[in-house]
């Protein structure tokens, strides 16, 4: 156990509250501890996703202790981008209860449009100051202007996610590897930060970033542009207080 990993905090995880994930928060925390993580962000799906968590799930996250079974648990959500203006399906009163919000395209909640429309949606989502991460910007079905999105991420201090589940051979998003190579090269060029997320939907997957790590090594991607490879940097970049 406690093997050396590239990440200290997993910024994308789902519990049973997401409706199509299979572990309790306790099980996730124990798995994270066993793997030597410092913590993880609980980012259950917002209500727009079929079977997603109820709004009360997000309002009530404040009842959780910060530390569960020896790891820090941060309060988050994976919200759905619902239109090409980049609006998401959580309102400010809920967002104010959360520490880290991911905004993502999902097939059930945002129709597939043109690259211009997806770019507009991503730029709009990044203008929402609650949105700290763009989730899995890697899917051929939602192409976008990479240069413009990376520039806006830098300007708005939004992290672009590298999603391990997308890169897994069992992943269901299309063309991720090639899309990540383009995205990472642009991030390096513009000095824009990324975050690594497992997108775990089962406890043993929490903290898994092996496919992402392999690609980052292959590209010799600079470690200083990875926001979650230490607790200190994660807190500094996100502004979250322990």
List residues near Zn ion by CB under 5 A.
104, 135
User: Could you tell me the smallest distance in angstroms from the CB atom of residue 2 to Zn ion?
Assistant: 28
Of residues 49 and 61, the one with the C-beta less far from Zn ion: 49
Q: Compare residues 104 and 229 and give the one whose CB is closer to Zn ion.
A: 104
Q: Work out the number of other CB atoms within 10 angstroms of the CB of residue 33.
A: 19
Give min distance, CB of 111 to Zn ion, in A. 16
- If we measure between CA atoms, which residue out of 197, 191, 214 comes closest to residue 41? 197
CA distances from 144 to 27, 56, 139, 212, 221 (A): 37, 33, 10, 21, 22
Question: How far is Cα 9 from Cα 11, in angstroms, rounded to an integer?
Answer: 6
Name the phi and psi angles at 137, rounded to 5: -80, 65
Q: Considering the complex, state which of residue 52 and residue 124 has its C-beta at the smaller distance from Zn ion.
A: 52
CA distance 46 to 34: 28
Q: Token pair 């470690």 is at which residue?
A: 223
Q: Of 33 and 78, which CB lies nearer to Zn ion in the complex structure?
A: 78
Distance of closest approach, residue 47 Cβ to Zn ion, in angstroms: 13
The distance of closest approach from Cβ of residue 130 to Zn ion in the complex, given in angstroms and rounded to an integer, is 17
CA dist 190 and 184 (Å) reads 10
**Closest residue to Zn ion in the complex (CB):** 104
Looking at residue 214, the DSSP 8-state letter turns out to be H
Q: How far is the CB of 38 from Zn ion (least distance, A)?
A: 23
Please report, in angstroms and rounded to a whole number, the separation of the first and last CA atoms in the chain.
25
Rounded to 5 degrees, φ, ψ at 149 are -70, -40
Shortest Cβ 203–Zn ion spacing (Å): 15
Nearest to Zn ion of 33, 95 (CB atom) = 95
133 forms beta bridges with: 102, 159
Q: Which is nearer to Zn ion, 38 or 135 (CB)?
A: 135
Q: How far is the CB of 73 from Zn ion (least distance, A)?
A: 18
| Residue with smaller CB distance to Zn ion, 56 or 172 | 172
Q: Which residues contact 189 (CB under 8 A, 6 or more apart)?
A: 150
């Amino acid at each position: 156990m406690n093997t050396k990993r590239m990440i200290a905090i997993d910024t994308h995880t789902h519990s049973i509250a997401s409706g199509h994930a299979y572990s309790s928060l306790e099980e996730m925390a124990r798995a994270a501890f066993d793997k030597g993580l410092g913590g993880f962000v609980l980012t259950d799906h917002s209500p727009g996703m079929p079977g997603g968590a109820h709004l009360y799930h997000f309002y009530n996250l404040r009842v959780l202790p910060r530390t569960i079974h020896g790891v820090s648990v941060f309060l988050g959500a994976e919200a759905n981008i619902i239109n090409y203006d980049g609006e998401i399906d959580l309102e400010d009163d809920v967002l104010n209860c959360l520490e880290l919000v991911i905004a993502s395209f999902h097939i059930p909640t945002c129709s597939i449009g043109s690259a211009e429309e997806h770019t507009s949606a991503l730029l709009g989502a990044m203008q929402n100051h609650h949105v700290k991460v763009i989730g899995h910007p890697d899917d051929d079905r939602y192409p976008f202007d990479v240069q413009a999105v990376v520039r806006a991420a830098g300007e708005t201090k939004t992290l672009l996610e590298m999603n391990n589940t997308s890169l897994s051979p069992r992943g269901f998003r299309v063309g991720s590897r090639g899309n990540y190579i383009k995205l990472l090269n642009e991030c390096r060029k513009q000095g824009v930060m990324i975050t690594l997320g497992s997108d775990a939907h089962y406890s043993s997957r929490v903290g898994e970033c092996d496919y992402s790590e392999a690609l980052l090594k292959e590209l010799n991607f600079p470690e200083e542009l990875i926001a979650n490879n230490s607790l200190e940097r994660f807190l500094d970049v996100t502004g979250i207080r322990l």
